[in-house]
Amino acid sequence: MAVKSSQSKVVQTTTQATKPRLFFLSASSGEVFSANPDGSDLKVIVNEGKRLPDGIVVDAAAGHLYWTNMGIPTANDGSIERADLDGRNLTHIIPPGGTFTPKQLQLDEKNRKLYWCDREGMRVMRANLDGSNIETLVDTSECDSRPGKDIRKWCVGIALDVEGGKLYWTQKGSDNAGDGRIFRANLEIPKSQSAANRKDIELLYEGLPEPIDLELDLANRTMYWTDRGDPPRGNTVNRAPMDPAQGSKKEPVVIFDHLMEGIGIALDLKGRRMFLTDLGGSVYSADLDGGNKRTLLGAEGNLTGIVYAEI
């Protein structure tokens, strides 16, 4: 459109249209996929082999996507990579060994930080977008020097409330043991405390089958997560308040079931819908209340992380 400047000159301005895309990962093939939100126009944009990619985020403003690689779970060779949105200019941000087995990944756009959970490393971590200033924010090891031996200490899913100054994470527990938990803490470690002894950690939910990836609807103070445990409470997507009332805490509500070991979840809050992946190789969509369920793609390998972005 044309507008007049203070010197009465006509200045041409344009508004660049954005288009929604899904980006998701296959742990079995090591590939990064891109598709339209209806599952069409499926593309492989990165094909690296079996590094077990797990969590993915998009920095639309910078034109980058980032993802975690678990590597060999016993080898302490986890990494985080970055590429352009078309898969070009691939580079390591966190080199192999910079983290143990990184899982879900989140982007703090405001402060230009990456946050992730490190499973066998038994910690919650963050770094600058260039990989500098790696920090451990939560250490669940309790001085356990045996990486990953106690599955109750495994940190898996992570979500951020940057304006509220909080981070949320899941600890999945042993397979179908009902040991799964969801925690919350401040983004910053309290003064005179450490990642291992901080006193601000809140236990929000416990007794869950195997909670995995986590997302937040901040406007409605609601959290959503996948669970890969056994039915009826597992292989599901669950929804619960971010601020459960103490003493009268309600059980999480199952809003999507019959996943084949659910892993990834992404929310399109403007469109009031969610996207899901499972290790059975499918991509699904549904409304945020679980209605209007659709299978978008199938037989795509062991799918892990997924992100919805407008680019």
Tens digits of pLDDT across the chain (311 residues): 444 444 444 444 445 678 999 999 999 999 999 999 999 999 999 998 779 999 999 999 999 999 999 999 889 999 999 999 999 999 999 999 999 999 999 999 999 999 999 999 999 999 999 999 999 999 999 888 777 678 999 999 999 999 999 999 999 998 888 999 999 999 999 999 999 999 999 999 999 999 999 999 999 999 999 999 999 999 999 999 999 987 667 789 999 999 999 999 999 999 999 999 999 999 999 999 999 999 999 999 999 999 999 99
Rounded Cα distance between 183 and 150, Å, is 17
Q: Name the token pair of 73.
A: 């779970």
Please give the Cα distance from 311 to 299 (Å, whole number). Answer: 26
User: How much is the pLDDT for 79?
Assistant: 98
CB 155 within 8 A of CB 140: yes
Closest Cα partner for 217 from 262, 285, 264, 273?
A: 273
Residues in the chain: 311
Q: How much of the chain is helix, strand and coil, in % rounded to 5?
A: 0, 50, 50
* pLDDT of res. 199: 97
Which one, of 225, 119, 132, 125, lies nearest residue 173 by Cα?
119
Q: Output the pLDDT for position 18.
A: 87
Chain center to CA of 301: 19
Of 105, 231, 249, 92, the closest CA to residue 167 belongs to 105
Query: Which residue in the block uniquely carries the two structure tokens 């401040």?
Result: 186
- Return the pLDDT at 248: 64
Provide the H-helix boundaries in 82-241.
none
pLDDT of 48: 84
Q: What is the predicted pLDDT for the residue at 15?
A: 55
φ, ψ of residue 153 in degrees (nearest 5):
-90, 0
